[in-house]
């Protein structure tokens, strides 16, 4: 790891340069993070408990890069070099030599805690850690690791190769070199950063997901049907996607988890998850990734699923 010196409001700090990336969780976010990091020239090691998720991630990355070639954003040589930088494994030991690991596993605190417990003993002492969590306290997740000062929130947006923003969230214990190193990495990946304080759901999801939850209430109370709600918000508020379409895109399980974190973390009834959202999740209708959510993706174009 090379070190550079950077001036900060607190004085000069030594900032480690991140030269290799590990990713835990090869779902829709994990594969997107691997995609942009590999194209930026970093070796990427991806770990998932599910080998099928790793195969699926590699297929998705190759398909998405193909699309970028079609749009002349990258060349076939860029793609080949980037795919050559990605390795996969089901074993955390494969991350032993990695400078920085981003956890992008399922949005459940218990799952993330288990990941860090199993992962930390394999890491070199200088390795820094981030969670891509959409809502869970960075301070609390960091406290469950052996290195809270090297732990940070690095919140990518979906789809990662397209969306320009990364929210960076310091936990109470996060040190300045870690913050500077991760901010520099985000910029190397072509992203702009916004710094959020460590409060439930940070900035983007604090505002976005209650709006989605309100759209589900509008459906639940019969204010409008699925198509009316999405059309109204697309044409009436100039949103590129309707809120229910967007919920399917994010994942209804993830939306529900974020509402639960807001409800529990802020103890305010205005954040109560809509019972209809709970029902969809109970049904296993998690959105695009399971083929069905508010819309059924078995048909092209998708149709409302009920």
Q: Which residues make up the interface to ligand NAD (CB under 6 A)? A: 24-30, 47-50, 53, 104-107, 111, 114-115, 132-134, 155-158, 250-251, 254, 289
User: d(Cα 17, Cα 5) in Å, to the nearest integer?
Assistant: 10
Q: CB-wise, 176 or 198, nearer to ligand NAD?
A: 198
**Is the Cβ of residue 24 or residue 233 nearer to ligand NAD in the bound state?**
24
Of 155, 165, 246, nearest in space to 208 by CA: 246
The one catalytic residue among 155, 245, 286, 305: 155
Query: How many CA atoms does the CB half-sphere of 78 hold within 13 Å?
Result: 17
- Active-site pick, 103, 107, 167, 176: 167
Nearer to ligand NAD, 158 or 234 (CB): 158
Q: Quick check: is 305 catalytic?
A: no
In the residue annotation, 221 being an active-site residue is answered as: no
At its nearest, how many Å lie between ligand NAD and the CB of residue 222?
Answer: 28
Phi-psi region of 199 (alpha: psi -120 to 50; beta: other; left: phi over 0): beta
Mode of pairing for the β-strands spanning 11-16 and 3-8 = antiparallel
Residue 302: Cβ-neighbour burial (10 angstroms; 0-12, 13-18, 19+): middle
Which CB atom, from 15 or from 104, has the smaller least distance to ligand NAD?
104
List CB contacts of 288: < 8 A, sequence separation 6 or more.
Answer: 248, 249, 251, 297
Minimal CB distance residue for ligand NAD: 27
Nearest-approach distance from CB 68 to ligand NAD, in angstroms: 20
Of 205, 213, 257, 305, which is the active-site residue? Answer: 205
Please state the closest distance from residue 87 (CB atom) to ligand NAD, in A. 15
Q: Specify the residue, 51 or 84, whose C-beta has the smaller distance to ligand NAD.
A: 51
149 is catalytic: no
Please indicate whether residue 228 is annotated as part of the active site: no
Q: How far is the CB of 216 from ligand NAD (least distance, A)?
A: 16
Rounded Cα–Cα distance for residues 250 and 157 (Å): 9
- Minimum Å gap between C-beta 3 and ligand NAD is 30
Q: Give residues with Cβ within 8 angstroms of 45, minimum separation 6.
A: 20, 21, 22, 23, 86, 87, 88, 89, 94, 95, 98
Token pair recorded at residue 277: 């959202």
Catalytic residues: 134, 155, 167, 205
């Amino acid at each position: 790891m090379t070190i550079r010196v950077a001036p900060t409001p607190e004085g000069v700090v030594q900032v480690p340069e991140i030269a290799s990336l590990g990713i835990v969780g090869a779902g829709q976010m994990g594969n997107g993070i691997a995609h942009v990091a590999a194209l930026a020239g970093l070796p990427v090691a991806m770990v998932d408990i599910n080998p099928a998720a790793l195969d699926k991630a590699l297929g998705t990355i190759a398909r998405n890069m193909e699309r970028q070639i079609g749009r002349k954003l990258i060349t076939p040589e860029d793609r080949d070099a980037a795919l050559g930088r990605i390795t996969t494994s089901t074993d955390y030991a494969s991350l032993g030599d990695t400078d920085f690991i981003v956890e992008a596993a399922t949005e459940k605190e218990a799952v993330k805690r288990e990941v860090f417990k199993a992962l930390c003993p394999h890491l070199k002492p200088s390795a820094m850690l981030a969670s891509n969590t959409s809502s869970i306290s960075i301070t609390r997740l960091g406290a469950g690791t052996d290195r809270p000062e090297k732990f940070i929130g690095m919140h990518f947006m979906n789809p990662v190769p397209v969306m320009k923003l990364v929210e960076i969230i310091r936990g109470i214990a996060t040190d300045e070199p870690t913050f500077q190193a991760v901010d520099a990495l985000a910029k190397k990946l072509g992203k702009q950063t916004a710094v959020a304080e460590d409060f439930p759901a940070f900035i983007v999801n604090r505002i976005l997901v209650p709006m989605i939850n309100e759209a589900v209430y509008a459906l639940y109370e019969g204010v409008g049907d699925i198509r009316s709600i999405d059309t109204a918000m697309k044409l009436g508020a100039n949103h590129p996607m309707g809120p229910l379409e967007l919920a399917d895109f994010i994942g209804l399980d993830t939306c529900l988890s974020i509402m639960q974190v807001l409800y529990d973390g802020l103890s305010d009834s205005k954040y109560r998850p809509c019972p209809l959202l709970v029902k969809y999740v109970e049904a296993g209708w998690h959105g695009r990734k399971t083929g069905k959510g508010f819309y059924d993706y078995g048909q092209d174009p998708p149709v409302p699923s009920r």
